[in-house]
Structure 1
C-alpha cells in the first residue's frame, strides 16, 4: 500500500470513528423501559461486582451479607437513577452535566477524577480476566503468565473500544442472557449440593475486620462507581419513566444477582472444605469450571470495552474547544490501560479503591442532585453548552461553593472511614453533609432560575437506536 493510500485509509477510519463519537452535546433518546433495563442488566453482570460478593464471607454471616447486598443496592440505585434522569431530561452525559453545578471550568475536577477511576476499573478487570484465562491455559498446557494474558485481554478490549464499541453495545443484551444462563447453572449446583441452612450456618470470622455497616458501604460504593455513566446510558431513554424504571430495575437485578453469585460461590468453596480466598477468580472457577470462566471473560470484554470508550469520550468532551481527535486519544489512553494491567498489586487494595471512589464521587453526586432538583428547579439552560460566559460561568468558570462542598464531603468520607469510624458508615453521612452544605450555600440563588425552560436541551438532536423488543 502506498503512503498516499495509507493516509487516505487513515483519514476515512478517523472520520468513521469521529462520526460515531457521542459528544458532550445534548441527544434525544428513543429507548423504552425494557431496552434500558437490558443495558443496565448487561453492564453490571461483571467480574468485579461478582467478586465483590466474595469479600463478605466469612467476615459476616451469609444472611447478613445477603441483606446488605439488597439494601445497599437499592440505596445506591436511588442516586444512580436520579443522576441518570438528568441525562434523560437534558440529553447530556454525566460529566457534561457537572457543568451545571461546578461551572464550565470547575467541571474539569469531576471529569479528571472520572478518568482516573475508569482507568483503575479497566486495570482491575483486565487483571481478573488475565488471571482467569491463565488458570484455564495452565490447567491444560502447564504454561503460566497472568501478566501476559492480562495484557492480551486488555489489548483486545482497546481494539474493541476503538473499532467495535457499537457492536458490543448491540450484543450486550444477548451476552447478558448467556451470562444469566451460566449463573443459573452455578446457583443450581451450589444449592443442590448444600442446603440454604448450611450456607446460613457458616461461622463468622471476625478477624476479617468486616461489620454489617462496612459491607453496606462497599455495596453502595459499587453503585456510586456505576453512577459516573448513568446519564450517559439514560440519555438514550425516551422518557424519564423509561430511564428511571429501566435503570433502577436493571441495576438492582444485575448487582444483587452478581454479588449473590460471588457470595454463594465462595460459601460453596468453604462448605466444600476449601480455603476462603476472597477476590480471586481462580478459587471459584476451580469449583465450577469453564462455565464460570466464560462468564468472567465475556463480562470483562463487554464492560471494559465501554469503560475504555467512556474514558476517551470524557477526555475529548472535557474541553471541546481543543478539538481532540478520537483515534489518537483512544490510542494513548488505551496504551496506558494496557501498561497498567500489569500492576497486579492493585488487586490487593480493591476495598481501598472502592473507598476512594466513594470519597471522590459521593460528594459530586450529592452536589449534582441538590443543584439540578432543588437549586436549578429541574432545568438547565443552553448556556451549559457554551465554552465561556453565560449562567454557568460563575466566577472565572468555577462555582466555588461546589468545590468547597466537594472538599468537605470528601474529607468527611475519609475521616469517617479511617479516623473516626462511623457506626452508620461513611457513605450516607458524607452524602448528607455535602447535600445540605451545597444547598445552604446556594439557596439564595434559587430565585434566579424560576421560569426557565424545562425543555430538553437537544430538541433538534436525536439518537437513533433500534429497539429490538
Structure 2
C-alpha cells in the first residue's frame, strides 16, 4: 500500500495538466514531432483500403488533396493551443461551456480507447505473423493482450521516455519505408501499379477515399492543440504542424497503397488493413519497426486518454493512478475484440460524426465570435464568460448533436457523392455561426494574451491584432 501511495504521489507531481503552457518549439522541431507521431502502421494501413477499389492514380491524388484539407482544420485548432497554451479538450470549455466540455471530453476518451484497441490489435497481429513464421504458433488475441498490457505499463511509468525516443523510431520507420519503396519499384514499374484495374464492386470511390483521408486528419486533431501548444509562435504551428503532418500522412498512406499493389502484382492474396501480409512480403525488420512504432504511439494514446479524463474539470482533477488503472483495464479487455479491425472504416465514421462538429464549433467560436482571443475565465471552475447557462452552452451542444446526426445520416441514410465529412463541417460551421452571431464580441480582433502570462487581475487581452502572441526569439 505504501508503494501505491508513493507511486500515486510521483505521478501526480509529473502528470501533464490542462493549465496553460508556454511553448518554445520551432517549426522544424514541431514538424519532427508530427512526423514521428503520424508515421505509424494505422496510417500506413489506411492506404491499403483504397486499392483496388480505385486506381492507383486516383488513390494517390485523393491522399494528397484530403491530407491538405485536413491539415487546415488540424492547424487552425492547433493554433488556438499555441496562442493560449491550452490543450484541445480544455479549449472546448470556451465554446461548449465550463461543464459542457464534458461532452467532447467523454467522446475523446472513447475515441482514444478505440485507437488504443486498434493499435494493440495491429501490434498483436504483426507479432503473431512473425512468431507463426518462425515457430508455427498462432494466437493473435494473446499477443494483442500482451501488447496492450505493455502499453498500459508504459503509459503509467514510461510516457516521458517514449516521447523522447519516438523521433528515433520515426527515423527507423523512414528507413524501412525507403526500403519498401525500393523493393516495390525495382520489382515493378510505376506503369504496372497504374495498370491495376479498379474493382467498383468494393464500393470505393474517389469521394470516399477523400472522406477517409480527411477523417484521418480529424482523428489527429483531437491532439493538435495538445502538441501545438508547445510551438513558440503561430508561424511555427502552421509551418511545422502543417508540413510535418502532411508529409507523414502522404508518405504513409501512399506506401500502404503501393505496398498492397506490390502484393497484388506478385499474385498473392492482398486483404486490406492486414499487417501480416506486409510482414510476409517485406520481412522481419518491417515487423519489428511496426511493433515499436505502435508501442510508442499507443502509449501516448493511452496517456492522453487518462490525462483527458483527470483534467476534465477546470480547477480539479481525478487521481492519475486509479484512473489509469481503470481505463487501462478496459483497454486490455477491449484489445481482444479483433472484429474491430474489420470495421475500421466504420470506426473512422464514428470519429468524424463526433468530432467534425466539435472542431467546426471551436473554429467559429475562436476566430469569428471571440475575435481570436480567450480570457482567463477559461481556467475557472465556475462563473465567467464561459459559464453560459449553468456551465453549458445549449447552442453549441445542440449544433454538435445535429452535426453528429447529420454526419451519420450522410453516411448511412442518404450517402452524398462527396462523402460526409466536408458537408458536416460546412453545415455545423454555418449553423453555429448563424445561431451565435448576435452574441459575437465587438471591436477589433484582440491580441491573445498568452494565458500562461496573463494575470488574474488583467483577464482580457489587449486590443492589438498586429502583435504575435508568441515570443520573437
Distance in 2 between residues matched to 1:128 and 1:169, nearest whole Å? 21
Structure 1 position 10 matched with structure 2 position 8:
no
Alignment counterpart, residue 163 of structure 1, candidates 148, 151, 157? 157
Query: Residue 129 of structure 1 corresponds to which residue in structure 2?
Result: 123
Distance in 1 between residues matched to 2:401 and 2:28, nearest whole Å? 38
Alignment counterpart, residue 240 of structure 2, candidates 246, 250, 253? 246
Other structure's SS at 1:57 match:
coil
Query: Residue 199 of structure 1 corresponds to which residue in structure 2?
Result: 193
Query: Residue 212 of structure 2 corresponds to which residue in structure 1?
Result: 218
* Pairwise CA distance, 1:322: 5.0
Query: Residue 3 of structure 1 corresponds to which residue in structure 2?
Result: none
TM-score by length of 2: 0.94
CA-based RMSD:
1.4
Alignment counterpart, residue 426 of structure 1, candidates 420, 425, 433? 420
- Is this contact kept in 2: 1:234–1:243, CA < 8 A? yes
Q: What is the correspondence of 1:284-299 to structure 2 with a 5 Å cutoff?
A: 284-299=278-293
Query: Residue 386 of structure 2 corresponds to which residue in structure 1?
Result: 392
Query: Residue 404 of structure 2 corresponds to which residue in structure 1?
Result: 410
Distance in 2 between residues matched to 1:451 and 1:431, nearest whole Å? 24
Q: What is the correspondence of 1:16-415 to structure 2 with a 5 Å cutoff?
A: 16-320=10-314, 322-415=316-409
1:4-56 Cα shifts (integer Å, max 9, x gaps): xx61x433322221222111111101111111111100111111111100000
List runs of 5+ in structure 2 lacking aligned partners: 456-473
Alignment counterpart, residue 441 of structure 2, candidates 443, 447, 452? 447
* Pairwise CA distance, 1:460: 7.3
Structure 1 position 437 matched with structure 2 position 431:
yes
TM-score by length of 1: 0.95
Query: Residue 464 of structure 1 corresponds to which residue in structure 2?
Result: none
- Is this contact kept in 1: 2:169–2:289, CA < 8 A? no
Query: Residue 460 of structure 2 corresponds to which residue in structure 1?
Result: none
* Pairwise CA distance, 1:276: 2.3
Distance in 1 between residues matched to 2:454 and 2:336, nearest whole Å? 45
1:126-165 Cα shifts (integer Å, max 9, x gaps): 0010011011111111111111110111111111111111
Other structure's SS at 2:417 match:
coil
Distance in 2 between residues matched to 1:322 and 1:25, nearest whole Å? 11
- Is this contact kept in 2: 1:376–1:449, CA < 8 A? no
* Pairwise CA distance, 1:447: 2.9
1:408-430 Cα shifts (integer Å, max 9, x gaps): 21122111111111122211111
1:326-376 Cα shifts (integer Å, max 9, x gaps): 111111111111110001111111110001101110110000000000000
List runs of 5+ in structure 1 lacking aligned partners: 1-5, 462-469
- Is this contact kept in 2: 1:381–1:452, CA < 8 A? no
- Is this contact kept in 1: 2:396–2:432, CA < 8 A? yes
Distance in 2 between residues matched to 1:102 and 1:449, nearest whole Å? 23
Distance in 2 between residues matched to 1:305 and 1:119, nearest whole Å? 11
* CA distance 1:460–1:13, change in 2 (3 Å): farther
* CA distance 1:398–1:150, change in 2 (3 Å): same
- Is this contact kept in 2: 1:381–1:453, CA < 8 A? no
Distance in 2 between residues matched to 1:447 and 1:364, nearest whole Å? 20
Distance in 2 between residues matched to 1:411 and 1:345, nearest whole Å? 25
- Is this contact kept in 1: 2:130–2:279, CA < 8 A? no
Distance in 2 between residues matched to 1:146 and 1:374, nearest whole Å? 49
1:244-281 Cα shifts (integer Å, max 9, x gaps): 11111110011111111111111000000011210111
